[in-house]
Structure 1
Amino acid sequence: MPNTYTQFNLHVVFSVKGRGNFLSTKIREELFPYIAGIVNNKKHYALAVNGYKDHVHLFFEYNPAFSVSDLIRDVKSASTVWINSRKLVPGKFSWQEGYGGFSYSRSQRDVVIKYIMNQEKHHQGKSFREEYMKLLADFDIEFKNEYLFEFYE
């Protein structure tokens, strides 16, 4: 669309179904670049993809010509097929339904990228539940407990 200029920086978080710790270091090393490729191929721009054993953080420059929910559906679907076709986890792998989405200004990008890329260190002292609940609180997002991710400590 001519004369339309945007810059939307989105941080999306999603979790392994059943909160299994299936995302080993080896899987993460291959999975996260794969997810970045999906995002880029869908005409967005991946800025950081990382996570820990049971969840993923995706930070990207969003192209508003496309739906965020369609992008995340495609990322989760394609990565599920990729994991299952390579038999990287025992049994059938899948992601939990839903995701958390948070927006940031360009001036915050470096801080968010650093935060996402330090997930392993970050989770030495904080659970995913604590991290996710803090994000919801920081962004003043109202939620219903029955629609949160399944959290297992």
Structure 2
Amino acid sequence: MSRNFHQLHLHLVFVTKHRDHLINDQLEKSLYQHLWVKAHELELFPIAINGTKDHLHLLIGIPSTLSVASIVKNLKGSSSRFANDFMGNQDLFQWSRGYEAFTVSKKDIPMIKSYIRNQNDHHKKGSVKSDLEF
């Protein structure tokens, strides 16, 4: 058999530097759209992107040829440049140095996708899952 088959999925969480509320209503949708497009450019398979004013969650399928560190470096670097350009190139937007990365099994994709899509509700109601947050 000469065929490779991979189903690798990651749940990533990025937090703004000092947990500053930098992801405002004007930036939010454009930032998520930028990350969606950038993920495709990196040959990733975005499934869900959402967050709050100080962090975001991404659920992506990844190829076996890319490391988690390189994926995060590309997504965080590209999105911070995008956010600063969007905000008038003031260099105010920064991600914190760290990140969280969780592997996700195929059977858990719908649950994680739903959790990500409902971020604002979880944070308003206090129903966040501490093992899925930064």
Give 1:124's aligned residue: 124
1:93 aligns with 93
Gaps of 5+ in 2: none
Alignment counterpart, residue 134 of structure 1, candidates 126, 131, 134: 131
1:2-151 paired onto structure 2 within 5 Å = 2-87=2-87, 92-126=92-126, 131=129, 133-135=130-132
Report the residue type matching 2:132 in the other structure.
Answer: L
Which SS does the other structure have where 1:66 is aligned? coil
What is the RMSD computed on CA atoms of the aligned residues? Answer: 2.1
- Could you tell me whether the CA contact under 8 Å between 1:22 and 1:89 is conserved in 2? no
Secondary structure at 1:31 match in 2 = helix
Q: Which has the higher contact order (CA 8 A, sep 6+)?
A: 2
**Taking structure 1 as reference, are residues 107 and 67 closer, same or farther at Cα in structure 2, changes over 3 Å only?**
same
- Give the distance between the partners of 2:37 and 2:18, measured in 1 at CA: 26
TM-score (norm: length of structure 1): 0.79
Task: List runs of 5+ in structure 1 lacking aligned partners.
Answer: 137-148
Runs of 4+ in 1 over 4 A off after TM superposition: 88-91
Q: Distance in 2 between matches of 1:123 and 1:11?
A: 18
Deviations 1:56-97 (A, max 9, x none): 101001111111111111111111111111226976211001
2:83 & 2:97 partners in 1: Cα distance? Answer: 17
The size of the alignment, in residue pairs, is 133
Secondary structure class of the residue paired with 1:92: coil
Secondary structure, aligned partner of 2:59 = strand
SS of the residue corresponding to residue 61 of structure 1 reads strand
Deviations 1:18-38 (A, max 9, x none): 111111122111111111111
2-side partners of 1:5 and 1:32: how far apart?
29
